[in-house]
Structure 1
Amino acid sequence: MSLRSSLHWGIGILGAILLVALVGPLVADRSLSQVGAVIPRQPPSADYWLGTDAQGREMISVLIYGLPQTLKIGVLAGLISLGVGTFLGLLSGFVGGWLDATIRTASDVMMTIPGIAVMVLVAANVRVMTVEIMAVIVAALSWMIATRTIRAQTLSVRERGYVQIARLNGQSGLKLVFVEVLPNLLPFIAASFVMTVSQAMMATIGLEALGLGPQNELTLGMTIYWAQFYAAIVRGMWWWWLPPILVLSLIFVGLMLTSIGLDSRVNKRLARG
């Protein structure tokens, strides 16, 4: 598979998943995703295409309503993490000096802290976990990589000829950053966003698999947790845990292919620059 086709396949897969996440809740019956809505522990059949779980929920409805929430956590965490990382990376790489040393040291220290342990500790002590709170928790412990990568790219871009010419023409400070540096980093930031979303979703699913996700909201990760809790594997209820795992795998494949394609294009552009 070529790098160009990787990007096309990745965007196609993510586009199809996003379409289901947007259109699915408009046509599916939400009441069927509630506890006790249908006969529990039913295998896939003409009445229940993906079966039902031990809590009396139709699995296809659970997947349809859990998918948007799962994507929401990943996108929110990715936006927050990349936003903080881009801001700090630009400051660190462009201003330099003591500010660069402070930001770099802070990110280095944070990277040595076992993130999953901190996330488990924080999530376990949150009284009411929501999708938004979970996204903030994940983002608070994942901004360091974006900061370091954006800083490295900023150090490279600020020495380019067009930036030096802009300096000679009297541009300086924030105007130089936002007019000359940031626009040339946008393709790289877009590629970083895809990877950040993937990492955020991975961390989120890890927390949810431990039962530390949103208890009162449907997500794919919490669906897997409840399947573990009720011993679905031992009881042979494959339709409870396998479909959410397949959907999550498809999401990660789409993100990976998109990231590979974007990275290739960004690296070629930066090399030409």
Structure 2
Amino acid sequence: MAELGVKPRSRLLARLPGWAQLFVTNKKGLFGLAILAIFMILALLAPLITPYDPYRRAGKPHVQPGVEHFLGTSRQGKDNFSQLLEGSRASLTVGFIAGFSATLIGLAVGISAGYFGGKTDEVLTFFVNVSLVLPALPLIIVLASFIEEASPTVIGLVLALTGWGWSARTIRTQTLALKSREFVLAAELMGEKKWRIIVREILPNMSSFVVGGFVLATIYGILAEAALEFIGLGSPNSVTWGTMLYWAMRAQALQTGAWFEIWPPAIAIMLTGAALVMVNFAVDEITNPQLAATRRIGPIRRFLRRRNRSADFV
């Protein structure tokens, strides 16, 4: 293998699809995907690896982090590490389901409105405008007042039904620009079916818009669910990152020095959002090679180049 001049890593990369090779070689995307993978694995294995029952008392109130309790205990005596793992299941599920559902609805509505046009565009654009003016958080607050407490499922459902408007409008605009391109017109002249043109010609050219919409909708879902439960509109009996922050606030964790009760869920939310953003950056660089080249140059080199050009004109 050494005589052939091919490294083992290069041989492994050669077996992957083209987009996968670019993603693996992108440091931002690989790092963000690794963080997401860690959280998802911990969430899936939470029932097996939690040392204590996250819904029951496991020790004395506000025990400092140690060998027995890795992240200490809450004011109610519940193990913070067990609650963090259990809470990741609900929070990530709400975020990803809300993001995937909103992206799927926005993709279907946006492409249909932009490609078919006419009455279809008018009707779908009307529903897009209604979705844009329909506030998700006040709607959840109203629902929570009627049903006394909103479970993570209810919050995720409302976020999915109200969070697809911006994605649909962006995808519609991009579809209008792509439908007049030469490769789309050539496919229409060859008699290709419309659904094949959408799937094979239009959809691959807007991957960055789709992934960007999914990332933003997922981050919004995780943050909105945590914020609503933090202010007491969620179900206090459920275990999520938001309810952990809610009970930490009720117990005045920061004022009493119990930082280990509030920082773990806050850092988990921050890392998840940062990982999704890095994946989005990687997809942008893969789908836009010019953007990747510009980012590799760096801001300092770009500034020096602009200064040198200005000096040449003087």
TM-score by length of 1: 0.88
> Aligned residue for 1:25?
47
> Aligned residue for 1:81?
102
State which drifts further: 246-255 or 18-27: 18-27
> Aligned residue for 2:259?
238
Q: How does 1:1-273 map to 2 (within 5 A)?
A: 4-31=26-53, 33-127=54-148, 129-186=150-207, 188-268=209-289
Query: Which letter maps to 2:36?
Result: L
Query: Which letter maps to 1:34?
Result: Y
Counterparts of 2:286 and 2:196 in 1: how far apart (Å)?
A: 27
Amino-acid identity (%): 28
Deviations 1:16-70 (A, max 9, x none): 2222222343222352x12323222212223212111111201111111111111
Per-residue deviation, 1:211: 1.5
Counterparts of 2:43 and 2:100 in 1: how far apart (Å)?
A: 19
Report if aligned partners of 1:82, 1:143 keep a CA contact under 8 Å in 2: yes
Query: Which letter maps to 2:49?
Result: V
Unmatched 5+ stretches in structure 2 = 1-24, 292-314
Report if aligned partners of 2:211, 2:280 keep a CA contact under 8 Å in 1: no
Counterparts of 1:252 and 1:168 in 2: how far apart (Å)?
A: 44
Query: Which letter maps to 2:40?
Result: L
Per-residue deviation, 1:85: 0.7
Report if aligned partners of 1:30, 1:65 keep a CA contact under 8 Å in 2: no
Taking structure 1 as reference, are residues 207 and 22 closer, same or farther at Cα in structure 2, changes over 3 Å only?
Answer: same
Taking structure 1 as reference, are residues 269 and 98 closer, same or farther at Cα in structure 2, changes over 3 Å only?
Answer: farther
Counterparts of 2:151 and 2:238 in 1: how far apart (Å)?
A: 7
Per-residue deviation, 1:187: 5.1
Taking structure 1 as reference, are residues 122 and 174 closer, same or farther at Cα in structure 2, changes over 3 Å only?
Answer: same
Report if aligned partners of 1:53, 1:240 keep a CA contact under 8 Å in 2: yes
Report if aligned partners of 2:167, 2:213 keep a CA contact under 8 Å in 1: yes
TM-score by length of 2: 0.77
Report if aligned partners of 2:33, 2:279 keep a CA contact under 8 Å in 1: yes
Unmatched 5+ stretches in structure 1 = none
Greater Cα radius of gyration, structure 1 or 2: 2
Question: Does the residue aligned with 1:250 lie in a helix, a strand or coil?
Answer: helix
State which drifts further: 37-46 or 140-149: 37-46
Per-residue deviation, 1:234: 2.1
Counterparts of 1:199 and 1:266 in 2: how far apart (Å)?
A: 24
Counterparts of 2:198 and 2:232 in 1: how far apart (Å)?
A: 43
Per-residue deviation, 1:112: 3.2
Per-residue deviation, 1:197: 0.9
Report if aligned partners of 1:78, 1:193 keep a CA contact under 8 Å in 2: yes
Question: Does the residue aligned with 1:19 lie in a helix, a strand or coil?
Answer: helix
Taking structure 1 as reference, are residues 135 and 102 closer, same or farther at Cα in structure 2, changes over 3 Å only?
Answer: same
Higher normalized contact order (CA 8 Å, seq sep 6+, divided by chain length)? 1
